[in-house]
A = this chain, B = another copy of it.
Amino acid sequence: MSLSNFLKPMHAAIEDELAASVAIINGSQYGELYSMMAYHLGWEGEGAGPEARGKRIRPLLVLLTAAAARADWRAALPAAAAVELIHNFSLIHDDIEDNSPLRRGRPTVWARWGIPQAINTGDAMFTLAHLAMLRLAESVTPFTAFEASRILQEACLQLTQGQYLDIAYERRDDLTLEAYWSMVGGKTAALLAACTHAGALSAQASPQDCAAYRQFGWLLGLAFQAQDDLLGIWGDSAITGKSAESDLLSGKKSLPVLHGLSHGGRFAERWAQGPVTADEVPELVGLLEQSGARTFTEARADELTRQSLQALALARPQGEAGEALKELALLLLQRQG
């Protein structure tokens, strides 16, 4: 249980670093701009607290990678804050783009303050993220800050490319598996790759180790998504269709669904007719299973998990932090160690 030894001090340090990063917005005239950020980050307003903050997985990945690469993880805190702010900027904008009124049970920023302020608050958080990353110049070196900044910007470009595909395919029925992986790569894996890469850079790891850590983060993101897609249909709460959690109800174009559609037949026919109702879910789950979609998705998730852990092994993570990093990966992939 190495991970549990790191969680408490790291979580506390992450919140402090995030607070310092956002506190750059000061002066009474910008009080509301600060409040919109503090609300979204789970610090202020109704429902504030750990539940509203999310798990801070991305900054944990940065810090554990830095520690596993033999650095004092505190030097990587600017990078940890940066990736979490990027994640949250993208959530603020995604919520507008997806027309989502709720996130983690609370009204979204646009639902509370309107679309114009929400767009602008996301932009401001985007900037604060990059300013945070540049503070690596003080905790490591200016050249590290420069390199990590480029890594983060490249991840942001992939993020927006993935989001472009997601929006574009919302009204289209021709999403290919190739486009699916581009979308997932951009929306999930790119930022996780930047987390482990920036963590390794903060530790001034060798180019080889940086590349291995980066590959680990990238594959972890893909494996996580495949696993998430699997649980979205065959997870305990999804399979009955009684909860609103089945991906079949939300119409999500996930990996099993794409597999099912590519095989035609009754599943594809029903899908083409429009939104699925809760009482249809068990039958459709059965059809997907018969077409081999479950086996296909499980095989991809297993393969990606294996590759991800292999990349981590290549990076030779050290000590208790190395163990904790592996533990975090398995936790994300909902596997036993």
Contact = CB atoms under 8 A, between A and B. Distances in A.
B167 A117 contact: yes
A198 B97 CA distance: 34
A127 interface: yes
Interface in A115-159: 115-117, 119-124, 126-128, 130-131, 134, 137, 142-143, 145-146, 149-150, 153-154, 156-157
A160 B116 contact: no
Contacts of A128: 157
B131 A130 contact: no
B93 A164 contact: no
A240 B128 CA distance: 45
A127 B157 contact: yes
Interface of A: 24-25, 29-30, 32-33, 93, 96-98, 115-117, 119-124, 126-128, 130-131, 134, 137, 142-143, 145-146, 149-150, 153-154, 156-157, 160-161, 163-165, 167-168, 179, 182
Given A123-B160, A131-B157, A134-B153, 10 more contacts: A24-B157, A29-B165, A93-B123, A97-B116, A121-B164, A124-B160, A124-B161, A130-B149, A134-B150, A142-B143
A166 to B, nearest CB: 9
B130 A153 contact: yes
A179 B29 contact: yes
Contacts of A137: 146
